[in-house]
Structure 1
Amino acid sequence: MKKRKIEIAVISDVHLGTYGCHADELIAYLNSIQPKKLILNGDIIDIWQFSKRYFPASHLKVLKKLIGMASNGTEVFYITGNHDEMLRKFSETSMGNFKIMNKLILDLDGKRAWIFHGDVFDISIQNAKWLAKLGGYGYDILILINSFVNWFLMKIGREKYSLSKRIKNGVKGAVKYVSNFERTVADIAIDNHYDYVICGHIHQPKKEHYENKNGSCLYLNSGDWVENLTALEYSFKRWRIYHYNHDRLSPFFVDEDLKEMNMGDLIASIADANIDWGGIEHENSDEISHKQSKKLEDSTIFNYGKERNQKV
């Protein structure tokens, strides 16, 4: 299967070295894409809970894959988080296409993106790190228990169930914390004239516009690879949330943002520079000539959609 060519992929909160990490699924996702930039937005390696007793081969394969992507031309930015904060002393270190930093600011098609992990806004980490670490161990144990529960549910033909999500959604304090986090981050981004603010940390994938009296911005959270198995992708001047459990079974072309795009804009975004598209942008897709349609089949997105439809 051909890899999907995208501008940027953002993943965070992988927590390599813990029982909750879905390393195999992450490798499958990374093998399916060919991004120009890959942003690792914190908590990739869980140094807080690192144990020599548990670091399976699949977790090592993730690290090997990331290094391989950097070696093959992808710019890889490792933004430090709280669980891998020991790497902050290596901030601004660059090794070829692999860079370690605490935050990243990008210009994307005339808009500014502010990218950081998000733990700087977590009061529990700033004021009571020991409590945050204790909570991290408790969360890991909960995920381990949940894996056994889900194994049993699948055996009896039932759907998987997330204990941690149920607890978070059922506790008003947790819901309020997430809401306050998002609003605080968005307000600061607006005040500093950023169009996009991209975080991880809270394990809640989200894409939402925020406004205040000073302007507006798009808040994005890449979620995690423990419960949600999500990433952020930027292509065709648009952001989308990738859900491994759903999107791996569907053609990329079914993304709602792509459906709404003008056919000419879409073709211009993915077409080979050597192809003369003539006046396609002014034509309806049904009016494209047979010769032009044949050329369309050579572009990544149409090949990908066709192959995925055949498999599904």
Structure 2
Amino acid sequence: MKKNLYFASDFHLGSPNHAESRIREDRIVRWLTSIEASCSELFLMGDIFDFWFEYRTVVPKGYIRLLGKLAAMSDSGTKIYFFKGNHDMWVDDYFTKEMGIQIVSDELVIHRGGKSFYLHHGDGLGPGDANYRILRKIFRNPVCRWLFSVLPPKIGLGIATGWSGHSRIANTTTEEVFLGEDKEWLAVYSREVLEKQHYDYFIYGHRHLPMIVDLGSNSKYYNIGEWFGFNSYAVFDGEELRLEYFERPDKQA
């Protein structure tokens, strides 16, 4: 019976190279196959691709195994949501037309099983992300997007590939560390939101470190990590939200 909600983010497919990305893509497809029978709704919460840009008739090549699996899941009745991340913000309508996937540009609030969820990729929120907030406005500006679109795909996607090779996930040499509940900027942001509106769960990606932070007021912040090392995700079974790991026997939720 399909009743579970699954949340995952930061696959960064395409990085750091084709060979390593393919290994990760195969693992993600195995995970999707393992949850397919129980998955009612799938929330892909940003940075699924290390870069994505849709020209009118051209999309980045590759990722056929992931796209095929998502198409099959959508066709079988699974509702899929795709959040724009800071690496794949230039998603347009290709996934919607081809697979019926709903595109989410910013936050999404949902209510399931008597619980309220505040969902966002996490980029540009809270203290400590000021520089990116400026870049986010620039890159999401329609003029900026149009200027990139007039480049021939060979040139535009070539530039993007080089840029992707210098991304944080492709060049990280140290593990992410927990900064403390008072310094984790998405926890700080969530507490600010709670002052105006209560949510049972705040779920983000972007941070690349799976964690659960008790925010008080019967609310929790979940970061669902990444798929370079943690292979982490969250699942809500109608009663409980859990942080879990795929093919990582050394990690416990």
Same fold (TM over 0.5): yes
Q: Which residue of 2 aligns with 1:235?
A: 237
Q: Report if the CA contact (8 A) 1:74-1:97 is conserved.
A: no
**1:8 is aligned to 2:15:** no
Q: Percent identity?
A: 24
Q: Which runs of 4+ in 1 moved over 4 A?
A: 93-97, 133-136
Evaluate the alpha carbon distance shift between residue 6 and residue 33 of structure 1 in structure 2; reply closer, same or farther with a 3 A threshold: farther
Q: Write out per-residue CA displacement over residues 143-166 of structure 1, whole angstroms, 9 at most, x where no aligned residue.
A: 6xxxxxxxxxxxxxxxxxxx330x
1:67 Cα offset (Å): 1.7
Q: Write out per-residue CA displacement over residues 39-77 of structure 1, whole angstroms, 9 at most, x where no aligned residue.
A: 010111222799x9x965xx3211211121111100001
Which of 5, 14, 18 is 2:15 aligned to? 18
What is the CA RMSD across the aligned residues, in angstroms?
Answer: 3.6
Which is higher, the Rg of structure 1 or of structure 2?
A: 1
Alpha-carbon distance in 2 for matches of 1:185, 1:175? 14
1:245 Cα offset (Å): 2.8
Q: Write out per-residue CA displacement over residues 218-261 of structure 1, whole angstroms, 9 at most, x where no aligned residue.
A: 111111112211111111410111211336x99xxxx99xxxxx
Q: Report if the CA contact (8 A) 1:17-1:49 is conserved.
A: no
Alpha-carbon distance in 1 for matches of 2:182, 2:89? 22
Which of 209, 212, 217 is 1:207 aligned to? 212
Alpha-carbon distance in 2 for matches of 1:175, 1:69? 37
Correspondence 1:72-91 to 2 at 5 A: 72-87=76-91
**1:196 is aligned to 2:201:** yes
Q: Report if the CA contact (8 A) 2:15-2:170 is conserved.
A: no
Unaligned runs of 5+ in 2: 139-159
Evaluate the alpha carbon distance shift between residue 66 and residue 164 of structure 1 in structure 2; reply closer, same or farther with a 3 A threshold: farther
Could you tell me which amino acid in structure 1 is paired with residue 174 of structure 2?
A: S
Could you tell me which amino acid in structure 1 is paired with residue 88 of structure 2?
A: D
Q: Write out per-residue CA displacement over residues 113-166 of structure 1, whole angstroms, 9 at most, x where no aligned residue.
A: 111101021323113569xx97971535436xxxxxxxxxxxxxxxxxxx330x
Could you tell me which amino acid in structure 1 is paired with residue 14 of structure 2?
A: G
Alpha-carbon distance in 1 for matches of 2:117, 2:165? 29
Query: Tell me, what secondary structure is at the counterpart of 2:70?
Result: helix
Q: Normalised by the size of structure 2, how large is the TM-score?
A: 0.70
Q: Write out per-residue CA displacement over residues 81-100 of structure 1, whole angstroms, 9 at most, x where no aligned residue.
A: 1111112x65xx67774211
Correspondence 1:212-227 to 2 at 5 A: 215-227=217-229
> Which of structures 1 and 2 has the larger relative contact order (alpha carbons within 8 angstroms, sep 6+)?
2
Evaluate the alpha carbon distance shift between residue 48 and residue 236 of structure 1 in structure 2; reply closer, same or farther with a 3 A threshold: closer
* Structure with the bigger percentage of helix: 1
Query: Tell me, what secondary structure is at the counterpart of 1:100?
Result: strand
Q: Report if the CA contact (8 A) 2:51-2:164 is conserved.
A: no
Aligned length: 212
Q: Normalised by the size of structure 1, how large is the TM-score?
A: 0.58
Alpha-carbon distance in 2 for matches of 1:217, 1:184? 13
Alpha-carbon distance in 1 for matches of 2:85, 2:135? 16
